[in-house]
Structure 1
Amino acid sequence: MRNLRTLISKRAERDRPDLPLLSVAREKGVFVRSMTDAEENHNVIPDDLTNYKVARAGNLVINKMKAWQGSMGIAPCDGIVSPAYFVFDFRIANHAFGQRLLRSKPYVAHFGQASDGVRVGQWDLSIPGMRQIPVLVPSDDEQAAIVRFLDHANRKIDGFIRAKRKLIGLLNEQKQAIIHRAVTRGLHPDVPLKPSGIPWLGDIPMHWEMRKLRQILTRKTERNQPNLPLLSVVREKGVIKRDTENFEDNHNFIPDDLSNYKVVRVGQFAMNKMKAWQGSFGVSQFEGIVSPAYFVFDLHHVGGAFFHTAIRSKAYVPSFTRASDGVRVGQWDLAESRMRDTPFFVPPPDEQQAIVEYVAKATETANTAIARTEREIALMQEYRTRLTADLVTGKLDVREAAAHLPAPPTEAAAEPAAEEPLEEIEDEEIEA
């Protein structure tokens, strides 16, 4: 048993803007940041990177404000990281083992105990506290055996998760096909049709009324009231309640002052205008508050359930993409004036209700299968977490088992690892 201080030495090398930019994330550890991937570019990159810290391959990099979440890891190559991060030389024989050790659940808990602060979700890591973290360091041979066993297990787990996510993708495609046809053609195959005027929409029932969104949506700006819950607007579900107590759901911190947040009433349409092109909007079933950067609308001339079902389908989401633009990848701002010109086709009220009921029944089997498959993925990820914790803390000895494992596949033959899903929670402070 050793304290972490015996394994680390702080580094402060800077002024190497020529090196690749690295990111630190709870899900991945340390990785080379893509300049084009929308999923990785939520925060602005400054023009001047001379003050960024240099992390050499094998260095330990820690996001000190999110160490309690596990946002740390071993640098895979030389690069630069935010000047707010900690960078350490990490004296351990097997860096792959060190990565798994410090990012395991028991050790992340230690980093949580060494962090504190008054702002929820932004607890600062104390270096003195971190240096006292007890670390179990097995022999070099056992470190290598643990890494080999975990690599083998993870390849199996990743293959399982890939297959399950592919199934979810197919089920979602099936659902979208059902919804698309219902909200664009109705439920009667022999109904007379007319051109919609929208290339990807095709023909629509002759008796449906066309209204521009400006006739359906009226902007509302009601500011926060005491005791209203915080809501999120996500691509997968629309408006959901945000769990402010569960740290796993709060990758981005919540401002202390929520007085400027907008109220959303039941039946109102809320939209993350920076991610409308992804479909991050929906009719709320809850009363609460959302980021002041979002749009909130009252609905007219259409039922809320039908509007929610139709507007979030592939029949209409492309319209929001066309109405969004900007220079920042993945943060295209919605032009409200262009969005308001989007045509929306409205069936009679009784037909709206019939379509909503049909879609709910027709997609019930797929929804049940998706929920079951997501649970299977979650259980497998829990197993991975538990297995890693048991191995790096010495609860399981896998040296003999690792010695009899087949040789790992070559890099060319190895399948890509399954990525951990990133919860789509908005960054209110950045967007506000």
Structure 2
Amino acid sequence: MINVPQLRFPEFQDAYKEHKLSELLSRYSENNKDEEYGIDDILSLSYEHGIVDRKELLEDTYSKVNHKNYIKTRFNDFIFGKSISTNYPYGLFKVNNFRDGLLSSLYFTFKTSENVSPTYLDKYFSHQNRANNFLKKLVLVGDRYITADSKYILSAKIFVPLKNEQEKVASFLTIIETKIKQFTKKEELLQQYKKGVMQKIFNQKIRFKKDDGSEFPEWQKKSIGEVFKQRIEKNAENLELLSVTMRDGVKKREDISTKNNSSENKNNYLRVYKNDIVYNSMRMWQGASGVSHYNGIVSPAYTVLKGNDENSSLFFAYYFKIQKNIHIFQRNSQGLTSDTWNLKYPQLAKIKLTCPHKDEQIKIADFLSSIDSKIEKVQNQLQLTKEFKKGLLQRMFV
């Protein structure tokens, strides 16, 4: 086995050494009979966020919890959780970089030795395949929990560098993770801002003005059928295959699915032109609609709407997404249960919405599109940083 990583800081030359985990970790279990910690100090383990307050994950009242039976954990302990999750079916290692507190006895708590950085071990086991391949030979998987022996786990071996290199690797990866958190928070704030400003715009608490500063006309009620006609054009099977998502609207199928649809018979597929609105009649009440930026075709399960020259399709793509209109679409969908609710074009066309003049529609759509552009930029930065981190986790460890 090669005992140096593919990617390494140039000032380090020493070979990585193989260690049993027992040389790096020591198991301890300290009960809370002295009630050093109370119910509010109960912590839990999340594969995404590490050690967190339990109440952030579970909205229980702790009415049946006896905190005296919990075990203590200290800051920088190394923790093994025996719960089964989709990403980590053999359990999960995480450092407690949160605070002192209590954990369920389902967890193993370890102290780290002086020759290892707990944060380095945390990064080592945060690589999903590495952690799963390491643990699957050491535990037994039940229906909900894992049967594990701490001594057996500690007998397993890993390669680690000297501590000064561990700390530099851990510090560098922590910087990357901080950047990911910053991008994630920035996206959340932009999404919140967009949601809030959309509500005010469509409730007419915010009004746009003409370029000369004068007021636009008052909003008027229109039926959707006055704005959009159903487009039913077929036999265009050589065009780009499109699909509709609830989050991102109309997307190229190849961008959201790896399934090869080249052999499908597409004679009955519906043609879509740029600026058409496409919606899923079974999921319109959940927001499955969007304006198309492409020429293409969609499954006949979708409905295609062709707008007229007096209105902005992009405006209505946003308008259809607000919660008030989602509820209207739900009320007008036909079917006995939510699994069968269906909003066909004849029902949709009868729905009346209060709409602004086309010029104001365009201003609103341009404004919301500018926010979406900022969100997309942050999402791309976030995705690239996550991919960069993934590559580092693969190449900076042995």
**TM-score, normalization: structure 2?**
0.50
- Would the aligned equivalents of 2:208 and 2:363 in 1 still touch at CA under 8 Å? no
1:187 corresponds to 2:208: yes
Within 1, Cα distance between the matches of 2:380 and 2:306?
Answer: 36
Equivalences for residues 29-428 of structure 1 within 5 A: 75-76=89-90, 99-101=128-130, 140-142=156-158, 160-185=179-204, 186-187=207-208, 207-242=218-253, 244=254, 249-254=256-261, 256-257=263-264, 258-300=266-308, 302-324=311-333, 333-336=341-344, 338-348=347-357, 352-361=358-367, 364=370, 366-391=371-396, 394=398
Check 1:216–1:102 CA distance in 2 against 1; reply closer, same or farther (3 A cut): same
Check 1:332–1:390 CA distance in 2 against 1; reply closer, same or farther (3 A cut): farther
Offset, 1:332 = 6.1
AA paired with 1:287? N
AA paired with 2:321? R
Within 2, Cα distance between the matches of 1:163 and 1:353?
Answer: 37
Check 1:259–1:388 CA distance in 2 against 1; reply closer, same or farther (3 A cut): farther
Offset, 1:223 = 2.0
Check 1:74–1:175 CA distance in 2 against 1; reply closer, same or farther (3 A cut): closer
Deviations 1:267-311 (A, max 9, x none): 322112233233221232321011221111223463324323433
- Would the aligned equivalents of 1:73 and 1:102 in 2 still touch at CA under 8 Å? no
Within 2, Cα distance between the matches of 1:316 and 1:278?
Answer: 10
For structure 1, the 5+ residue unaligned runs are: 2-27, 29-56, 60-71, 78-95, 105-138, 193-204, 395-432
Equivalent position SS for 2:353: strand
Offset, 1:363 = 6.0
Within 1, Cα distance between the matches of 2:315 and 2:244?
Answer: 18
Within 2, Cα distance between the matches of 1:58 and 1:317?
Answer: 38
Equivalent position SS for 1:316: helix
- Would the aligned equivalents of 1:279 and 1:312 in 2 still touch at CA under 8 Å? yes
Q: Which one has the largest radius of gyration? A: 2
Deviations 1:364-415 (A, max 9, x none): 3x445423422331232112211222146x3xxxxxxxxxxxxxxxxxxxxx
Within 2, Cα distance between the matches of 1:325 and 1:154?
Answer: 52
AA paired with 2:89? A
AA paired with 1:390? R
Check 1:268–1:103 CA distance in 2 against 1; reply closer, same or farther (3 A cut): farther
Equivalent position SS for 2:363: helix
Within 1, Cα distance between the matches of 2:340 and 2:184?
Answer: 27
- Would the aligned equivalents of 2:312 and 2:362 in 1 still touch at CA under 8 Å? no
Equivalent position SS for 2:194: helix
Offset, 1:347 = 2.8
Within 1, Cα distance between the matches of 2:340 and 2:132?
Answer: 34
Within 2, Cα distance between the matches of 1:58 and 1:236?
Answer: 31
- Would the aligned equivalents of 1:212 and 1:341 in 2 still touch at CA under 8 Å? yes
AA paired with 1:357? K
- Residue identity over aligned pairs, in percent, reads 21
| Aligned counterpart, 2:75 | none
Within 2, Cα distance between the matches of 1:239 and 1:318?
Answer: 21
- Would the aligned equivalents of 1:320 and 1:334 in 2 still touch at CA under 8 Å? no
Within 2, Cα distance between the matches of 1:237 and 1:74?
Answer: 29
Larger deviation, residues 149-158 vs 317-326 = 149-158
Equivalent position SS for 1:334: coil
**TM-score, normalization: structure 1?**
0.47
AA paired with 1:284? S
Query: How many residues are paired up?
Result: 257
Within 1, Cα distance between the matches of 2:132 and 2:262?
Answer: 27
Deviations 1:74-133 (A, max 9, x none): 6348xxxxxxxxxxxxxxxxxx699524999xxxxxxxxxxxxxxxxxxxxxxxxxxxxx
Equivalent position SS for 1:165: helix
Equivalent position SS for 2:190: helix
Check 1:332–1:360 CA distance in 2 against 1; reply closer, same or farther (3 A cut): farther
